[in-house]
Amino acid sequence: MFTPDSARGYLTNLVAAVSYPFETWRGTIGLVLVTVATYVLLILSTMPTFSLQMLGDGLHWFEYVLVSLTETVYRTDGWIGLGTIVLYALLSGVAVVNAVAQLRSVGRSSLANLSGVVPGLLASGCASCGAGLLGFLGFAGGIAALPYDGALLRVGGLLALLFFLGRAGHPDRCAIAAGVTK
């Protein structure tokens, strides 16, 4: 049952999960690297054929492709579309850093808390076409048939990331021992 205490506990866990990467330099660097890599992957997935053709001709096109596709997302969906990609990349970075910290401190069994991040990573992302990483897997046509150009799928992926980050909490602390129920 959803109570104000459980909501408060969830928000406490979410804040702890999001702030964890900033506790050490190593975590912050990991967050930045994963966030940038996720952003680049999501931007390149907005037009996978264009990205593959240009980068197949040489990596000297990388900057042009990245800037062109970022501009395309902005012109297509404005600041909200671009902000969705940035938020998604940032939350993905937090999720990956937290998963690595849990794996390092507790072992593989602790990753069950972040198991819901994988669907969010696959389903969400691209703010211009709705395909996200699924475009690279060949599912862009099916997602393009969704209502609102897949916007609900992107929001669902972001909510899944937020839900499972809040459920997992700080990777080095046990949420049950603190009296916070999952």
Examine residue 179 and state whether it is found in any structural domain, yes or no. Answer: no
16-20, 91-95, 122-126, 144-148: which range is least confident on average?
A: 122-126
Average pLDDT of span 92-113: 75
Examine residue 49 and state whether it is found in any structural domain, yes or no. Answer: yes
Determine the pLDDT at residue 175: 52
- Contact between 157 and 132 (Cβ < 8 Å): yes
Examine residue 64 and state whether it is found in any structural domain, yes or no. Answer: yes
Examine residue 176 and state whether it is found in any structural domain, yes or no. Answer: no
Domain residues for the domain of 111 are: 4-168
Cα dihedral angle (169, 174, 175, 179), rounded to 10 degrees? -160
- Write down the pTM of the prediction: 0.74
Distances (CA, A) of 166 to 72, 114, 136: 33, 10, 29
- Is pLDDT above 80 for 131? no
Examine residue 180 and state whether it is found in any structural domain, yes or no. Answer: no
The tokens for 30 are 């990991």
Examine residue 133 and state whether it is found in any structural domain, yes or no. Answer: yes
Examine residue 175 and state whether it is found in any structural domain, yes or no. Answer: no
Using pLDDT thresholds of 50, 70 and 90, give the confidence band for residue 150.
Answer: low
Tally of CA atoms within 13 A in the half-sphere of 157 that contains its CB: 27
Total domains present in the chain: 1
Examine residue 80 and state whether it is found in any structural domain, yes or no. Answer: yes
Cα dihedral angle (173, 114, 96, 40), rounded to 10 degrees? -150
Average pLDDT of span 113-142: 50
Mean pLDDT of the chain: 76
